Amino acid sequence: MSSALLAVGDPLFAEGVDLTVVLIVILKTLVTFAVLMVAVLFMVWYERKLVSDMQNRIGPNRAGPFGILQSLADGIKLFFKEDLLPERADKRVFRLAPYLSAVPAFLSFAIVPIGGTVTIAGHETNLQLADPPVGILFLLAMSGIAVYGVMLAGWSSGSKYPLLGSVRASAQMVSYEAALGLSIATVVLIAGSLSTQAIVADQAGAGPFGVLPAWNILRLGVVPFVIFVIAATAELNRPPFDLVEAEQELVGGFHTEYSSIRFALFFLAEFMNTVTMSAVIVTLFLGGPSGPDFGVLPSWLWPILWFTAKVLLFLSMYVWFRATLPRLRYDQLMDLGWKLLIPLALFWLLVIAAVRLDSGYALLAIPAGGLIWLLLSRSMAVSRARTTEKVH
């Protein structure tokens, strides 16, 4: 029964599970882990290089050609640093927290399809570690657990700045998860499945006007994509939403008291999440590994190349955000999340649902939803004006 359930996603399990299949799964796990680690090492280097380009600097250029080995050198250095444990820390939780951060970061990459299918030892398999039927919900679950990593790290440090940082982090991540989830809901609505493989398959073929690809970014109108990108940036605690670790105010935020390899784990998790989120954006909105096959190279390689190129685009976007935008204030962050993104995501979900139903009554829901949204934002503005009047 379990193999039947597994076979829903991956053709690997179609003929039952034997030793070869188990070995292939182990191989895929190792390869995924290696790919993610290399991606993280690359991303650390790439971010430092690109942001220094944008700041008229050179960036790391000592270790290896173009400084490409810099992140490896940093990692090795962190391994040999003294591992400090604050006296007032809750020792067990303090030790546990980095893993609560790093493990979900790795696990959520497992559901991302990074290519088409390949045949290993006579078994056909997806280039994807796992395709559980819960699919994209798994991502939300993992990012939910990652909040615990951040929160417990700050709380167990027994120090004020980490605590402040982690309080900010938990509030921020919980708030933006709502907008994130609602924009994912639009994708799920149109794909009719939670499985990432099905979401990618749904985006195949020709889309609007027959020439454009059927990617969700176009089919859903750009709004859910923009909401997802903003919410994902906040979820990642990356600039301009990095007030969790606001160096100028909070030293380092929740990881202030961490050193050595435990600190490296947080760092690793942060960059893993960045890579994963970029990959998820590509999967949900840009058709995942889909793209034209120009021949020359073997046909299984093209989807991987397309996927890599798209992910790289979003990694660059995150760096660009960091180089450009100043950090938001805490109340601005909360306003943006609760008063703009969540209502907008809800409204757009309504629009998509109405369009899909394609009946006159359902379409009426669009102006009705718009009206409710207008009233809501008006009442917020009025109540805000009243509170500020009282203050003055």
Partner 1 sequence: MGLLDGFAVTLRQIGKVVTTQYPEHKRPKPERFHGRHVLNRYEDGMEKCIGCELCAGVCPAQCIHVRGADNPPDAPVSPGERYGFVYEINYLRCIHCDLCVEACPTEAITESKLFEFSFTNRNDAIYTRDELLVADDGKPQQLPWEHWAEGDDKNTSGWMRATSPAGDPQYQDRPLWSGELGYGVRVAERGQAADTPAAPAAGDAPPSGDAH
Residues making contact with partner 1 (CB under 8 A): 53-58, 61, 320, 323-325
Between 66 and 99, name the residue whose CB sits nearer to partner 1: 66
Lookup: tokens for 390: 């009282």
Q: How far is the CB of 323 from partner 1 (least distance, A)?
A: 5
Residue located via tokens 């004020």? 160
d(CA 370, CA 327): 31
- How far out from the chain centre does Cα 312 lie? 14
Between 320 and 330, name the residue whose CB sits nearer to partner 1: 320
Q: How far is the CB of 326 from partner 1 (least distance, A)?
A: 9
Q: How far is the CB of 51 from partner 1 (least distance, A)?
A: 9
Q: How far is the CB of 212 from partner 1 (least distance, A)?
A: 24
Q: How far is the CB of 95 from partner 1 (least distance, A)?
A: 38
- Is the dihedral angle over the CA atoms 106, 108, 114, 116 positive or is it negative? positive
Q: How far is the CB of 194 from partner 1 (least distance, A)?
A: 34
Q: How far is the CB of 313 from partner 1 (least distance, A)?
A: 14
Between 295 and 326, name the residue whose CB sits nearer to partner 1: 326
Distances (CA, A) of 383 to 7, 293, 380: 54, 56, 5
Distances (CA, A) of 227 to 17, 281, 308: 41, 11, 23
Between 13 and 46, name the residue whose CB sits nearer to partner 1: 46
d(CA 238, CA 235): 8
Between 66 and 320, name the residue whose CB sits nearer to partner 1: 320
- The three-point CA angle 218-35-109 to 5° equals 50
**Residues whose CB falls within 8 Å of the CB of residue 320, separated by 6 or more in sequence, listed in order:** 50, 54
Q: Which of 51, 90, 91, 49 is nearest to 70 (CA)?
A: 49
Between 325 and 357, name the residue whose CB sits nearer to partner 1: 325
ω into residue 240 within 30 of 0, thus cis? yes
Q: How far is the CB of 70 from partner 1 (least distance, A)?
A: 15
Between 323 and 353, name the residue whose CB sits nearer to partner 1: 323
- Phi, psi of 206, rounded to the nearest 5 degrees: -85, 145
Between 301 and 340, name the residue whose CB sits nearer to partner 1: 340
Between 177 and 242, name the residue whose CB sits nearer to partner 1: 242
Q: How far is the CB of 52 from partner 1 (least distance, A)?
A: 9
H helix count then E strand count, the chain: 15, 2
Lookup: tokens for 348: 């757009």
Longest distance between any two alpha carbons in the chain, whole Å: 75
The string over 133-142, giving b where at least 16 C-beta atoms fall within 10 Å of a residue's C-beta and e elsewhere, is: eebbebbeeb
DSSP label of 297: S
Contact 110, 165 (CB under 8 A): no
